[in-house]
Amino acid sequence: MGMTMTQKILASHAGLPEVKAGQLISAKLDLVLGNDITTPVALNEFNKAGFDSVFDKDRIAIVLDHFVPNKDIKAAEQSKQCREFACAHCVSHFYDVGKMGIEHALLPEQGVVTAGDCIIGADSHTCTYGAVGAFSTGVGSTDMAAGMATGTAWFKVPAAIKFELKNSLPKTCSGKDVILTIIGMIGVDGALYKSMEFSGDGVKSLSMDDRLCICNMAIEAGAKNGIFPVDDITRAYLNGRTERRPIEFSADPDAEYEKVIEIDLSKIVPTVSCPHLPENTKPASELSDIKIDQVVIGSCTNGRMEDMEAAYSVLNGKKVADGVRCIIIPATMAIYKECIEKGYITAFIDAGAVVSTPTCGPCLGGYMGILAEGERCIATTNRNFVGRMGHVKSEVYLASPLTAASSALTGYITAPKED
């Protein structure tokens, strides 16, 4: 029996001719990632274990993105611990104020991840990098500590579900609507510890930003990772960008999948995930009676350039509804700068929105957009658990940037209109 794309990457990094679902392996790592929240915990474990060096200063990335610029003394102390470690060990990929971005948008943009990589990160949305044809998955801070010291990690090889994509999306939909639709179909545990492998003719119609968004939320279906095949779109994105030579893997024709699910992209509609689970999805058109207090457009899921363009296409020359707070957060400094150069920031401000430097702040209920009791927010983030963005009696609705921006103008959840 052949291997899936994920299994081929893991076999290569384990130095084995083949691996099978359920097999335990030790694999070499191409990158170990941490942020300002998870890295300090990993550093405490690193020191407790008696480690005194990192396996490769060029294969570790530490991104300060959750509470940067720092929101309080604790956040400042956590960032300081990261800075001191990065300096002491000459960590090449250390991103602080002025260079920072939301980690899962920043690393692909900067070429730190590439096709064929095996990556772990102490953040559950590390699965994002499957969009460029890498195996990437989130781990705990203890595993991050061991990975930084040894350059290896243990894995149980995941079984896989194939998602066969057909046709192309309507203009009012994006990768966010695709992944919300899938999670609504299979549930938050529908791909538990599985590899979500995307294939089919429909793949070529999805941009890199769409793919990054889709893989980012694989964890919301319980998946170990999400992954796309390497095609001309991937190659064009990686060309001249990455530090390491991309290595392309592809699934064997006789690879074994637990199931195959066909997705007709042309049938996707603007979709919203209602409180309090990502699987609780409904068409945006059915939620027009839901009044909102806040809109957040950003995060590691939807803060990329195409997301800013989508928001601009809706908000330019319009006004945010009275009583609605609209917060827009470009995911990296490069995206922020491009938004300035294209006039998007001015348009956002003129529309009545506020624009922040890159941060994860509101997504996890940290700062820059905390909800009070009874308030509702429509956000382009990835989770809407109870209390996720503030008070336990607040509500979070997940949506695409087009849907979120359209809702900002009306004050109610609103499906985007075709031009």
Q: Is residue 85 very low, low, confident or very high in pLDDT (cuts 50, 70, 90)?
A: very high
Q: Is the same domain home to 104 and 150?
A: yes
In a domain, 417, yes or no: no
Specify whether the CB–CB gap between 78 and 40 falls below 8 A: yes
* Confidence band, pLDDT 50/70/90 cuts, at residue 215: very high
Does 256 share its domain with 367?
no
Strands 271-273 and 281-283 come out as antiparallel
* Cα dihedral 234, 240, 243, 249 in deg (nearest 10): 30
Q: Are 231 and 134 contained in the same domain? A: yes
Are 59 and 89 in contact by the 8 Å Cβ rule? The answer is no
Which residues have a Cβ under 8 Å from the Cβ of 204 and sit 6 or more positions away? Answer: 231, 232, 233
**Cis peptide preceding 13, ω within 30 of 0:** no
Specify whether 284 is located in the same domain as 251.
Answer: no
| Residue 207 identity (one-letter amino acid) | S
pLDDT digits (tens, 9 = 90+) for 101-125: 999 999 999 999 999 999 999 999 9
pLDDT of residue 243: 82
| pLDDT over 90 at 333, yes or no | yes
Our count of domains for the chain comes to 2
Contacts of residue 106, Cβ cutoff 8 Å, sequence gap at least 6 = 63, 65, 95, 100, 112, 331, 332, 358
Do 294 and 253 belong to one domain?
A: no
Answer for the pair 279, 188: CB distance below 8 angstroms, yes or no.
yes
Q: How confident is the model at residue 405 (pLDDT cuts 50, 70, 90)?
A: very high
Q: What is the mean pLDDT of the chain?
A: 96
Residue 121 lies in a domain: yes
Q: How many angstroms separate the CA atoms of 318 and 260, rounded?
A: 44
Question: Residue range 395-415: average pLDDT?
Answer: 98
**What gap in Å lies between CA 59 and CA 34, rounded to an integer?**
12
- Angle 30-62-96 (CA atoms, 0-180°, nearest 5)? 140
Parent domain of 319 = 273-410
In a domain, 313, yes or no: yes
- 207 with 286, same domain: the answer is no
Question: Could you tell me the strand order of the sheet in which 31-35 lies?
Answer: 93-95, 60-63, 31-35, 118-121, 135-138
% of residues, the chain, pLDDT over 70? 100
In a domain, 419, yes or no: no
Residue 212 has pLDDT above 90, yes or no: yes
Per-residue pLDDT of 87-105, as tens digits, reads: 999 999 999 999 989 999 9
The pTM of the full predicted model, rounded to 2 decimals, is 0.95
Q: Residue 416: inside a domain, yes or no?
A: no
273 neighbors 384 (Cβ within 8 angstroms): yes
Q: Is the dihedral of CA 153, 121, 215, 335 positive or negative?
A: negative
Encode pLDDT of 161-210 as tens digits. Answer: 999 999 999 999 999 999 999 999 999 999 999 999 999 999 999 999 99
CA 317 to chain centre: 30
The 10 Å CB-count burial string (b at 16+, else e) for 179-189 is bbbbbbebbbe
Report if residue 418 sits inside a domain.
Answer: no
Q: Look at residue 415 and tell me if it is in a domain.
A: no
Q: What DSSP string runs through 327-338? A: EE--SBHHHHHH
Residues 245, 305: Cα–Cα separation, whole Å: 25
Picking from 235, 264, 293, the residue at the C-terminal end of a domain is 264
Domain boundary among 232, 264, 296: 264
CB 161 within 8 A of CB 191: yes
CATH number at residue 278: 3.30.499.10
168 SS3 class: coil
| Amino acid 49: pLDDT | 94
Same domain as 312, residue 256: no
The pLDDT value given to residue 1:
75
Task: State whether 252 and 296 are in the same domain.
Answer: no
Report the distance separating Cα 234 and Cα 5, nearest Å.
15
For residue 89, being part of any structural domain is answered with: yes
Query: Cis bond leading into 278, ω under 30°?
Result: no
- Same structural domain for residues 253 and 376? no
pLDDT in tens, 15-41: 999 999 999 999 999 999 999 999 999
Burial 338-362 (b: 16+ CB within 10 A, else e): bbeeeebbebbeebbbebbbbbbbb
